[in-house]
Amino acid sequence: MAQPGTARGAGSRPGRARPRSVSVKDVAATAGVSIGTVSNVLNRPDRVAAGTRAKVEAAMTELGFVRNESARQLRAGRSSAVAYVMLDATNPFFTDVARGIELTAEKADLSVFICNSGNRPEREHAYLDRLEQQRVQGILITPIDPADPMLAEVAARGIPVVLVDRTSDVARHCSVAVDDVSGGELAARHLLELGHERIAFVGGPASLGQVRERLDGARRAVASAGLPQDRLTVLVSAELTVAEGRHAAQLLAGLPASQRPTGAVCANDMVALGLLQQCVTLGLRVPDDLAIVGYDDIDFAAAATVPLTSVRQPRLQLGETAADLLIDEASNPDHQHRQVVFTPELVVRGSTRRPA
Amino acid sequence: MAQPGTARGAGSRPGRARPRSVSVKDVAATAGVSIGTVSNVLNRPDRVAAGTRAKVEAAMTELGFVRNESARQLRAGRSSAVAYVMLDATNPFFTDVARGIELTAEKADLSVFICNSGNRPEREHAYLDRLEQQRVQGILITPIDPADPMLAEVAARGIPVVLVDRTSDVARHCSVAVDDVSGGELAARHLLELGHERIAFVGGPASLGQVRERLDGARRAVASAGLPQDRLTVLVSAELTVAEGRHAAQLLAGLPASQRPTGAVCANDMVALGLLQQCVTLGLRVPDDLAIVGYDDIDFAAAATVPLTSVRQPRLQLGETAADLLIDEASNPDHQHRQVVFTPELVVRGSTRRPA
DNA sequence: GGCCGAGTTTGAAACCTTTCAACGAAGGGA
DNA sequence: TCCCTTCGTTGAAAGGTTTCAAACTCGGCC
């Protein structure tokens, strides 16, 4: 079998030096055609005579030719990839968003680089740097801070940046998000419509925009049901974890039954699951003593001891739409930035029911 | 502010044509030095006189210069990135492995591309193709089929391939895995040592090597406890899901108490959680009526209604070691392939106890 | 004053692919 | 027979970076 670059001879080190990889030049030499023809076989096979094409293809297989993407990109001026910088790879929500992005990108014949900032700003910055150096077609990102000036700088240098699950007040990027106010409203209204008249909201910290908005939604639902706001008990948690949900259950169980809320809206499913589990442990029946609504509809929500009613966000669609916006921005000269907001949907399961 | 490539003038289309990005050439022109000097500022700043360096750096900032990674790679012959092709991005196990890989790669100043095959062979192949075209330094992969000839081909073309959480019978790649036999043994032995004498193994399908080995381990534990193998009831499930775990609970609950196992070893935590939840629903107490051991120690294991005893695999370390092996293979001419096998560890929680 | 060497800077080549104008050959029509 | 077309193929240039031998500058020394 022919070796690439035989002119080089045995190379410098006698050991296991990595052999230069096979290039179009090697293929052309083996097939007895010019470099241009090899390139045509790769990019416009219809312009090459059948016999020639066969010869070239045979040479490629024989030599084990693999296109050099760097050289292609250099010539093309940009890569055929986009990137998604995600906030937290261990959160199923974001992996589903990523899947949506991949689906759309695949259709447009783009690769997707998934990068995980893991909530660390320095890693986010390092990835943005690298991606810009790679000349990616565009960057999808769920940023740690949507107002980070670096995002604006990258965009200013001509690389499309789309915010995912976040909004930007300035219309400098496209963005795709889900309406958290209406999600919170949806959850609370469901309980109110079932006849619950005392409701708890469990979640925090208040510094999270998403938590604040979901709570606002719940308040709005209480108001439009014509009930006074003191019917909504707010239990602020330190974070959105199972442990904090359990803690909330302790607090609720400690209340006299006459004052205890009969329904709870949780800021996410982890909290809801903790609440649910601890209620079971403490002997509070779900949904009879306490109806529970979660948020996110993670897979575990449906699989809990009592299947959890939850607010579902269109995760896949979030990713798909974000990728669509990015592709438009990258390829359409008349692109206009858009802020897309999805409406969440309620999935009713066994954890909610008319109060006993 | 100076524009790159002013010679080009207003370009072809009047609209918002993407401007050519700034190159070393532009920087050199602005700073009034040669291209070589700019390159030296980037790569060997100590060889450049302080004044010159300052001029060049000023020009870079002024023009917004960003290195072109394609051109660097083309010159260097390979990229400064490695890739991890993971089997299932929605499984927390793999995202933790990925984190371990990132940790190690970061230290070696390598980027990591995370690719998700999602258990689909055609996507795995597409990613392998792309990665090879990118000339990555090496590929870490949890393959759908460790015997896939494509892995051998890639390796034969000189790209290091390391198998993660899988082993290869042929010593063609390095591999990193966890000893599933000893994990299964660990779980079963724990129950036996607590005094359980009838044990169930729940998991499947049998086509999964991991399931088979965990079962083998359980069998071994039963044997070394001096008990006959019929004390081990094997419930083969169709897949490793919560739903299948629930199903197993139905089967167990249907047995007369005298024959019913008092302890269960599950092939993973999802199955264990389903088993646990359905037991609670059916009124079987855990751990009093049935002690349960899971496998993987996912975060939800500790957060279940009854915290789950589980077999923990060193996920982070798995990734770190795999990356170390890859880096060695890519840079050390005397590299020898190695098959590293980790030993899992048992985490005891509330779901196991001495039988009533 | 001329020479040497250290410290800087330069210019050109190389990496591999794609593109495109131009060339050659073959076939058809006048 | 000659010209025109069409189809295939070629050769060279371009894209941005890195590397390296060569050139240059300056100070010091003989």
B113-126 residue pLDDT tens: 898 888 899 999 99
Do residues A293 and A190 touch, judged by C-beta distance below 8 A? Answer: yes
pLDDT at A170: 65
| CB of A255 within 7 Å of some strand C atom | no
Nearest chain B CA: its distance from A153 CA (Å): 9
pLDDT at A289: 96
**Residue of A304, A289, A302 lying closest to A347 (CA atoms):** A302
Tell me how far apart the terminal alpha carbons of chain B are, to the nearest angstrom.
Answer: 81
Strand pairing of B309-312 and B345-347?
antiparallel
List, as one string, the DSSP characters of B95-159.
Answer: HHHHHHHHHHHHHTT-EEEEEE-TT-HHHHHHHHHHHHHTT-SEEEE--S-TT-HHHHHHHHTT-
Give the separation between CA B313 and CA B297, rounded to whole angstroms.
8
Tell me how far apart the terminal alpha carbons of chain A are, to the nearest angstrom.
Answer: 81
Stated in angstroms, how far is A27 CA from C26 C1'?
27
Classify the C-alpha dihedral B70-B75-B81-B83 as positive or negative. Answer: positive
Peptide bond just before B4 cis, omega within 30 deg = no
CA B86 vs CA A197, B96, B119, B171, B326: distances in Å: 48, 11, 9, 21, 16
Radius of gyration of chain A, Cα coordinates, nearest whole angstrom: 28
Pick the CATH number of A78-179+315-343 from 3.40.50.720, 1.10.260.40, 2.160.10.10, 3.40.50.2300: 3.40.50.2300
Give the separation between CA A169 and CA A152, rounded to whole angstroms.
12
Task: Report, in ranges, which bases of strand D sit under 7 Å from a protein C-beta.
Answer: 7-21
- Dihedral angle over CA of B214, B219, B220, B224, nearest 10: 150
Give the nucleotide at minimum CA-to-C1' distance from B27: D16
Nearest chain B CA: its distance from A318 CA (Å): 17
**Residue of A280, A299, A24 lying closest to B91 (CA atoms):** A299
| CB of B25 within 7 Å of some strand D atom | yes
pLDDT at A5: 41
Looking at residue B2, the DSSP 8-state letter turns out to be -
Over residues B15-25, the mean pLDDT reads: 72
Beta carbon pairs, A and B, within 8 Å: 130
CA B228 vs CA A188, B199, B259: distances in Å: 57, 11, 15
Classify the C-alpha dihedral A346-A349-A351-A354 as positive or negative. Answer: positive
Token output for A324: 């669509």
Do residues B267 and B211 touch, judged by C-beta distance below 8 A? Answer: yes
Stated in angstroms, how far is B36 CA from D21 C1'?
13
Stated in angstroms, how far is B349 CA from D9 C1'?
74
List, as one string, the DSSP characters of B195-227.
Answer: T--SEEEEE--TTSHHHHHHHHHHHHHHHHTT-
| CATH 3.30.1490 at A24-67, yes or no | no
Residue B124 touches partner A, C-beta closer than 8 Å: no
pLDDT at B150: 95
Stated in angstroms, how far is A40 CA from C29 C1'?
31
pLDDT tens digits for B30-67?
999 999 999 999 999 999 999 999 999 999 999 999 99
CA B269 vs CA B202, B265, B295, B300: distances in Å: 11, 10, 5, 8
pLDDT tens digits for B270-319?
999 999 999 988 999 999 999 999 999 988 888 888 899 999 999 999 99
CA A75 vs CA A205, A353, B28: distances in Å: 50, 63, 21
Give the separation between CA A220 and CA A216, rounded to whole angstroms.
6
Q: Which residues in chain A come in under a pLDDT of 70?
A: 1-19, 169-170
pLDDT at A196: 97
Please name the fold of domain B180-313: Rossmann fold (3.40.50)
CA A304 vs CA A28, A54, A311: distances in Å: 62, 59, 15
β-bridge mates for residue B45, sequence order: none
Domains A24-67 and A180-313 in one fold: no
pLDDT at B19: 65
Backbone φ and ψ of B112, nearest 5°: -120, 125
Contact A74 B66 (CB under 8 A): no
Q: Which residues 148-177 of B are in CB contact (within 8 Å) with A?
A: 153, 156-158
Contact B98 A115 (CB under 8 A): no
Q: Which residue of A has its CA nearest to B335?
A: A16
pLDDT band with cut points at 50, 70 and 90 for residue B2: very low
Give the separation between CA B140 and CA B36, rounded to whole angstroms.
36
Do residues B178 and B165 touch, judged by C-beta distance below 8 A? Answer: yes
Give the separation between CA B355 and CA A43, rounded to whole angstroms.
70
Do residues A334 and A304 touch, judged by C-beta distance below 8 A? Answer: no
Contact B243 A16 (CB under 8 A): no
* B-chain residues near A158 (CB < 8 A): 18-19, 21
β-bridge mates for residue A81, sequence order: A111
CA A277 vs CA A305, A355, B225: distances in Å: 8, 19, 36
Do residues B140 and B82 touch, judged by C-beta distance below 8 A? Answer: yes
**Residue of A136, A157, A353 lying closest to B134 (CA atoms):** A136
Interface test with B, best of A25, A286, A305, A331 (most B CBs within 10 A): A305
pLDDT band with cut points at 50, 70 and 90 for residue B209: confident
Q: Per the confidence metrics, is the pTM higher than 0.85?
A: no
Of A66, A89, A133, the CB nearest to B132: A66
Of A16, A90, A305, the CB nearest to B280: A305
Give the separation between CA B263 and CA B292, rounded to whole angstroms.
6
Mark out the alpha helices in chain B (DSSP H runs).
24-31, 35-43, 50-63, 69-76, 92-107, 121-133, 149-156, 180-194, 209-224, 242-254, 269-282, 299-302, 315-331
Classify the C-alpha dihedral B125-B127-B130-B135 as positive or negative. Answer: negative
Of B95, B157, B303, the CB nearest to A66: B157
CA A229 vs CA A66, A183, A198, A220, B248: distances in Å: 67, 18, 10, 9, 47
pLDDT at residue B212 greater than cutoff 90: yes
Over residues B259-263, the mean pLDDT reads: 96
Q: Which residues 37-96 of B are in CB contact (within 8 Å) with A?
A: 64, 66-71, 73-74, 77, 79, 89-90, 92, 95-96
Q: What are the residue boundaries of the structural domains of chain B, listed by start?
A: 24-67, 78-179+315-343, 180-313
Q: What share of chain A is helix, strand, coil (3-state, %, to 5)?
A: 45, 15, 40
Looking at residue A110, the DSSP 8-state letter turns out to be -
Do residues B331 and B324 touch, judged by C-beta distance below 8 A? Answer: no
pLDDT at residue B170 greater than cutoff 80: no
CA B187 vs CA A43, B272, B344: distances in Å: 57, 12, 10
Residue A8 touches partner B, C-beta closer than 8 Å: no
pLDDT at A323: 97
